Structure formats: C-alpha cells, structure tokens
Structure 1
Amino acid sequence: MRTYDNPVIPGFHPDPSVCRVGDDYYLVCSSFEYFPGLPIFHSRDLVHWEQIGNVLDRPEQLPLPLPGATASRGLYAPTIRHHDGRFWVINTNVSDGGNYLVTAERPEGPWSDPVWLDLPGIDPDLAWEEDGTCWCAFTVPGIQLARIDPVKGEVLEGPFPTWSGTGLTWPEAPHLYRIGDWWYLLIAEGGTERGHSVSIARARSPRGPWEGAPANPVLSHGGTDRPVQSTGHGDLVTAPDGSWWMLLLGTRPRGFSPNFHVLGRETFLTPVAWDEDGWPVVTPVAEHHPAPGGAWHPLPAPPARDDFDAPVLAPHWISPYARPEGSWSLAENPGRLTLTATGPTLDRPGHTFVGRRQQHHDCRISARLDPGTGRGGLSVRLDEAHHYDLEAGAGEVLVIARIGPLRQVMARRPVPPGPLTLTLTVRTADLVPPSPELAGTDLLGPDTIACWLGDPDTPGAEPLAELDGRYLSTEVAAGFTGRVIGMYATEGSVAFDWFDYLPAS
C-alpha cells in the first residue's frame, strides 16, 4: 500500500487553507510578521507540494514595515477559494487595516491590491451560494457571519452571531461549506496549544439554526501521547475520486516535559470519512498514512544550494517586517546576494535579514560569505529576543546567544580577511553533554545547535560552540511562529556567495 509522511509541508506553515480546481490543489498559510506574505503552494496529489509564490509580494499590497507589527503579529489565517473563474484569498492584517480580499486569475499571481472589508475580527472565510450570494464567517471572539459583496468589499447584511462551538476556549478559524443538502460550519476551538481541536455543525441554511456534531470535537489530540500535537485549524477538500481530506496544523514537540516544538506549527494531511448520519469522521493525525488515490506526482527536491545566480530571490526567502530595496541586491555583485545593514542589531526590528524556514529537526546550514568591512553572518531566529548568531566582522568570528533579556558572546575567534564558510548544525541526538555547571540539565531539550567555522566535513574546520535548542522554542519564546534560519548584515555590506540547507541523511 502506498503511504505518505506527515507533515506534508514541514516547518513554520500554520493555518493551512486549500481549494481544488480540476486536478490541481492550491494552499495558503499564515506568515505573521514576515515578508513576502502568505506563501502559496501547488499540488496534484495532496502530498507533494511546491511553493509557487507568495500572495503578498509587493510593498503596495500592504504597509511595510507592517505598522506596529511585532513578532507573531501581522498576517493571520488566510482562506483561499476559487469562484467564478478567479482565485480569492481573504485574510487579516492584525497590525494594520483588519480584513481584506485579494484576487488573481492565476494562483502564482499577480494578485490584486487589497480590497478592505468593514468587518472586525480575524480568520475570515468565504463561501458562495448557487445564486452568487457571498458569505464571510469570521472570529470576533466567537464566530459571526456577514453577507458581503466581495468585489466592492461592502457588507450587505450583518454581521450576526452564528454557531461558536461546544464551549471550549477560543472558537476560531471558521470554514463554511455547502455539501449535499447541508451547510457545514467547521471551526477550531480549545486554543492553539495542546488542547487545539476541530468541531463541526450543520444547518439547512447559512443563517442556521446550527446543530453540532454528536462526536464533537471531531479531531483532538489533547491528552494523548501521539507524536503530533496541537491538531486544529483544518480545511476540508474533496479529491477527484470522491474521497475527502483535511489539511490542518499540528506540532511535533520533542524533549523532556513540557516538550518543545521548534519548527512552529506545520501543515498535516489526514483522511476524512462520512458516517451514515452525514457527519465527518476525521482520522487521528499520524506520521504515516495510506496515500490518496489517483496519480502520484512527486516533485523534484529543491536544490540544497542557492548560488544566487537567478535574477530574483526564490519565493521561500523571507524577511521580518519588510525587505527594503536598498537592503539587498543580486545585481551589485553578480552571483552573490549582497546584504546591506539597515539596523545595527538583530535585537530590534529594522535589521537586514533574509532567511528560510527550518523544516527538519536534523539539518545543516552553511554559507560562504565575505564580510569585507561589514559585519554579518548566519542566525537561527524566533524573534528579536530569541536568536543564536554566528557572526563575522572586524577580523573575528563570534557566537552570540540572545535569550530574553540576556545577550552573551559564547565564543570568539580571530580570522584573516576575505571569504570564509560558516556552518550551523541542528541535531536531535547527542545533545548538550552534562557538565558541572549544568548538572541535571542534559538531554532535556529538543535539539542542539552547533556553530562551526568552516565545513565540519573538511579538515581544519573548528567547532566554536554548542547551544541548547530549547531556548529557541515556542514553549520558551511564546508566539505563533517557528525557527527561521538565514543571513544577515548589521554593519556595512556583506556578500554571500552561496547558502546550503541540507536535511540530515
């Protein structure tokens, strides 16, 4: 039997929403404070996904830097739908403006400038009746519903309260569907932590009255020892063969109690059946499942190395809050990514950083760079108060740990002028060993982050420091995002010849 591995989109890709057009599936995720915003993926089989762009990839589509944005603010919980020959994405910018719609003829874009809606709350959804009536469900808290004109952004009726779950905390993430003779309202509740769950109700009309499923919540891993936790914020989709599936978020915590998840909330896939009474039966999310039927469409693995030879950055590269034109260039030094400092520290917004999501628990990241007269390097980032930096400049290499209010230089080595290779390794085995200074704290964290001068597989490479990964976890830092690993400049300009991201074999 053919199987697939979960998560189907690993790393910080939360709040998935999916639609099918013919044999093609399209999926969007939250991006919070990062630009470009709202990554969009394509698949032919629900298992293999390729990022084809970002919905918000132009500064004119959203204020930049996001006004008032801090870590884990910005863009929350998009919904993607296809109607009347167009793609629609509705989303909330919690840092400025509220709820808005963008549209495109093709999923890879270009996407329109936002049409703003005079509706409060977060997590907006779109659903159409056969006569073209458009409904928007959203969270205020509690779930509300409004009839809207999605082209003009006008609210035509409402909003008014609708079904808000079973009484668990934080009912949110509504999705409204017409399936057969029923309207179904799928929501998340229980909070986005370990108690996260999915519940559903149905009615003959979008206006209600709503009847909750007898088995609610129809999905929850709370209180279990399953390796996938925090399962919720789901969206339903049907395959061409008539089978039903749910894309949803979950986490993979590791380490000693309370367990730590470092990759953020990821996108998982699980089968859905329907019982004889017309209610969905959602299979608990496992790391391995029988695969969907139909053709199998494996995708080529993305290249491990980016040599920065393309005229534009690949869509997986992201930056916190903004990416001003003067902060980066692929043309200034052809074949290199040149970063120019816009701020003197990674400890405050406004710095220059280009990174990618960490997607594997065990991986190795290397970069070849020439700091010149500048200063920069590699950073593992959760937010401004939680990051580990491997930095070159002024004839030395430093390892810097920023954990909450504490900032400490963990290692310092002199280096000659010119290009050098920096490497970070993230591993879940052979964790930070016990020591007199750290008695009793060994093997408690989820992973170890080791910093190297050079390539660890090459003679002459020098280990600089090993850092406990638990301090770059959501359980320590709080928030909604996961680790992003990338390149930065905090002084002058730094040229990066290449960047490698390799999952551990």
Structure 2
Amino acid sequence: MVHDKRADNDSSRWDNIIFSTTDLWDESKWTDAVHLDFEGYDISPHWDDEGNSYVVGSHAWKVAYGIHINRVDLTTGEVLGDWTNIWNGTGGIAPEGPHIFKKDGWYYLMIAEGGTGLLHMETIARSKDLYGPYEPNTANPILTNANTTEYFQAVGHADLFQDAQGQWWGVALAVRSGPEWVTFPMGRETVLYNVTWEANSWPELQHPVRGEMRGWSLPGIIQDLPGDGPFVDEGDNNIKFRPNTSIPPHFVYWRPPIAENYAISPPGHINSLRLKPSSLNLTGIDGNSPGPGGQTFISRRQVDTLFNFAFDLDYTPSAHNEEAGITLFLTQNHHARMGVAMLPLANDSSKLAPHFHFHAISYVPVPDDIVVPVYASWLNKPLTLSLRAVNVTHYAFGAGPADGSVPIQDFAYVGGDIISWGFTGALVGAYATSNGVIGTTEAYVTNWNYQGWGQVRENWNGTGIY
C-alpha cells in the first residue's frame, strides 16, 4: 500500500503486506496481513533450491533507483539481512515489477521500465548467482508496444509461467487506448501472449501485443470450479436481491462499507437492496478522503468496451439535497453520476421537487451540470436508471418509468476520458446521499442488470466488435 499524501522520501509511505493460504477457494483460510519493512513496492517472492525464501522488490525510484533483494520469513515478515541492490535496469525510469526465474542454472531477473505510460517496457538480465552481477539481454526490451500505432499500449509489468504441457506463456498489463492515450476507461488490463524459451537462452516474448494473438492453443474452458460468483463475461442478469441471499461476491464498495447502510429484502421491500444515505456524496470532503461515516455506494466493474447497465430505483426524496442514483466511477475526483435529487424549482425556489441531476468531476473538462424536474407522470413510481457505453469514447445516462410504459430517455452524455486516470478501471453502480447533512430517506434498488455488448480489440471505426 502507498500512503500517497506522505513525502516521497518518507519510509513510512510504503507498507508492503503478504497474505497466504492453504486453499485459494476458502475465504476463511487466508491469513491476516503480514507486514514487511521495505522502502519500495512491487515485491515478489522467490525460493532457492534449499527452500530459503526471498523477496525482490522495486526501491522507491524517486529516492534511489534499483531492484533490491533480501531474505525474508514470509510467515512473519521478518527481514533476515540487509537489502541489496542487484540491478538498475537499462536506463528507463522507474525500474519495477521484478520477477526472478531460475532455469538451466541461470537466475533470470525480469523487470518493467519506462514508467506505466506509453514508454512502458519489459527488460531482462541474468546471472549465475542470485545476488548478481546481472548481465542484461542485448535484445532488450523483450516486450513493448512503445512507439507503435497499436490499440494496446503501455505494455509491461510482465510475468512468465508454464502450462501443463510445458509451454511457456506470458502475462502483462496493458491499456486499450491507442497511441493517443486519452480514453482507456477499463484501466490496466491483463494480456496473454506466447513465449519461447530454449535451453540456456533468453525468453522470447511474442509482441507487439494485440487484441488477437496467434500461437499455442488455449486450454479448454473449465467452468466446474469451486467458489461463488459469476465468470467475468457472464454479466449480471436481473439480480433481484431475493430474501436470504447475499451481496454478490463480485460487487465492489468504495472503501470499507458501513454495513447497516446496505440490506437485502428488508421488511416491506422484498426483492430489493436498501441503501441508507450517507452524509457524504461520491466526491466526499476533498475528492480524496472518505471522511466520517463512509459513502453509500455499491458497484461492479466495467468489463466490456460496450455495455448496458441499469437498475430500478424506488425512491422518493423528502428533504433538500437528498439524492440517489447511478454512477460511472473511478475515484472520488473522477466520476459522473445522475440521480433523483430533491431540489428547488427553477421558477419558485421556495418549493422543492424531485429532479434528475447529472454531475461530473475530473481533472479534464467535464459537461455542465444538468438539472431537469422529474416529469409529473413519472413521480411517485419506480424508475429505471441506465448507463451505457455508446461507443469507445462516450457514455449515456438515461431514465424512464420502470414499468416500461415510456422508452428510456437519455439525459446526459459524458466522455470516457474523465475516468481514464491511474490504473484500476471504471466501476458502475448505485449510490445514495444526503449531500452533507444527516438524511433519512432510503433508496431501494432491484432488477440490477449489466450486459456486455462487445469488446473492441483494435482501433475502432464502428466495426470489429468481438
């Protein structure tokens, strides 16, 4: 974890933690966090032939460059020696994301360089001794999409593994932005490619990375697996929050949730998710801090280029600034939302009425707020709120009566550039807030739907959806 409000040269800025388990599928088998004292990040374990455990990590590069290694007791986090710098990379900024592989008597150290933007790349060096010296591959970088027109960019932070047939594969992080580097709402995604690694030689990684790769045959799809929850491409098919069910495991909160703000099928509202309003809205106090009381917000990830997300909202605000609605969310200072809010009428500020209120915030220009009174024929009845990706760059917010008597009407459009920041990708979900005061009016969500309409895997001209 990074405490990003602390100074770059403050060692307490970095908090490296390790979790372990004897059963990946059993939540109860995971250990509590084990803390490791290291002034850096991107730690990775390595075990030698005698079973000794090591950690290799990226030293905080704004303090001092370098990939460092040390013996560590992974069960306690105890550091068993001094941290040693074993390689500084090939000259790209921010050498990070290290992994060590032992093969054919060589230790191979593979790292990312160039930062996580358009110059991201993967380089490799090797040594006969774990602590070096490490000799770089003259063919570096061994993986990059830098200085290309490929749709997938910022390829790096890679790892290698073998399948059951002994064939080598690689994974890496990448974004679907093209070289324009403007719109990539799903953030850094994982890409898969083939690797050839002959004896006593360097691994050869297939690149440039593209939306369609050729090489080794993929294994058959196995869906009979332990654990709960849908597969990534299944979508959410009309989740009704029935009695005696739980919040789906792939749903995401923003920061630790306040448990009493969420309830499935409460009395009088069977087949719905109750949201108690938080005093804080999605922006919060300063766009970064959660403040007291948390934020009532529940979501799932956008996992398709094109999709439609919608739910029915049963909500009648009763006090000024009470609001509940739908959001496209990256962080507190990068999101768009449209809700039903109790606001003064434009022609008579002494009277309050429910309005559709669209608002967006980002570090780039955003559309103006839109405030429209809820139509008289739509008042005091459940509404369907919708959010859809209309193309690779823009989203539409819409609403209509939940009974389907009137088609969904689009009220606002927003560009995906407002949530194309950082690394983690967009969330879509529901929120309830009283916008700075203590509110009491609860919102009820049901018929939660997320349906993917297609993936864009190459530069898009309106075709080529998979």
Distance 2:213 2:258 in 1: 43
Q: For structure 1, which segment, 119-128 or 401-410, has the greater mean C-alpha deviation from structure 2 after superposition?
A: 401-410
- Say which of 391, 408, 416 aligns to 2:379: 416
Root-mean-square deviation (CA, aligned residues, Å) is 2.7
Unaligned ranges ≥5, structure 2: 224-230, 285-289, 343-353, 435-440, 455-466
Structure with greater strand share of residues:
1
Displacement of 1:319 in angstroms is: 1.6
Q: Does 1:501 align with 2:450?
A: yes
Distance 1:241 1:160 in 2: 36
Correspondence for 1:105 = 22
**Any idea what SS the aligned residue of 1:170 has?**
coil
Distance 2:403 2:260 in 1: 36
**Any idea what SS the aligned residue of 1:220 has?**
coil
**Any idea what SS the aligned residue of 2:80 has?**
strand
Correspondence for 2:287 = none
The verdict on how the C-alpha distance between 1:411 and 1:502 changes in structure 2, with shifts beyond 3 A counting, is farther
User: Partner letter of residue 472 of structure 1?
Assistant: I
User: Partner letter of residue 119 of structure 2?
Assistant: G
Task: Quote the sequence identity (%).
Answer: 27
Distance 1:171 1:260 in 2: 26
Q: Does 1:369 align with 2:317?
A: no
- Say which of 335, 346, 352 aligns to 2:282: 346
Correspondence for 1:273 = 196
User: Partner letter of residue 263 of structure 2?
Assistant: S
Q: Does 1:162 align with 2:95?
A: no
Distance 1:205 1:454 in 2: 66
Correspondence for 1:315 = 249
CA-to-aligned-CA distance 1:143-185 (integer Å, 9 cap, x gap): 1001111112111112110112101011001111222311111
Displacement of 1:427 in angstroms is: 1.6
Correspondence for 2:345 = none
Q: Does 1:450 align with 2:396?
A: yes
Distance 2:447 2:161 in 1: 39
Q: How does 1:227-376 map to 2 (within 5 A)?
A: 227-253=151-177, 257-275=180-198, 277-284=200-207, 285-290=209-214, 292-293=216-217, 295-297=219-221, 299=223, 301-305=233-237, 306-309=239-242, 311-332=245-266, 333-348=269-284, 349=290, 350-373=294-317, 375-376=323-324
User: Partner letter of residue 268 of structure 1?
Assistant: V
Runs of 4+ in structure 1 displaced over 6 angstroms?
A: 94-97
| Higher RCO structure, 1 or 2 (CA under 8 Å, sep 6+) | 1
Correspondence for 1:38 = none
The verdict on how the C-alpha distance between 1:455 and 1:262 changes in structure 2, with shifts beyond 3 A counting, is farther
**Any idea what SS the aligned residue of 2:40 has?**
coil
CA-to-aligned-CA distance 1:190-225 (integer Å, 9 cap, x gap): 100011111111112211111111111100110001
Displacement of 1:448 in angstroms is: 1.9
User: Partner letter of residue 123 of structure 1?
Assistant: D
Correspondence for 1:195 = 119
**TM, length-normalised to structure 1:** 0.73
Q: 1:352·1:488 contact (CA, 8 Å) conserved in 2?
A: yes
Correspondence for 1:488 = 431
Aligned residues: 397
CA-to-aligned-CA distance 1:425-475 (integer Å, 9 cap, x gap): 2121xxxxxxxxxxxxxxxxx42211211289956224243423144242x
Distance 2:12 2:249 in 1: 23
Distance 2:13 2:180 in 1: 37
Distance 1:411 1:275 in 2: 63
Distance 1:161 1:407 in 2: 48
CA-to-aligned-CA distance 1:231-255 (integer Å, 9 cap, x gap): 000111100111101111101115x
Q: 1:452·1:461 contact (CA, 8 Å) conserved in 2?
A: no
Unaligned ranges ≥5, structure 1: 1-31, 34-67, 74-93, 429-445
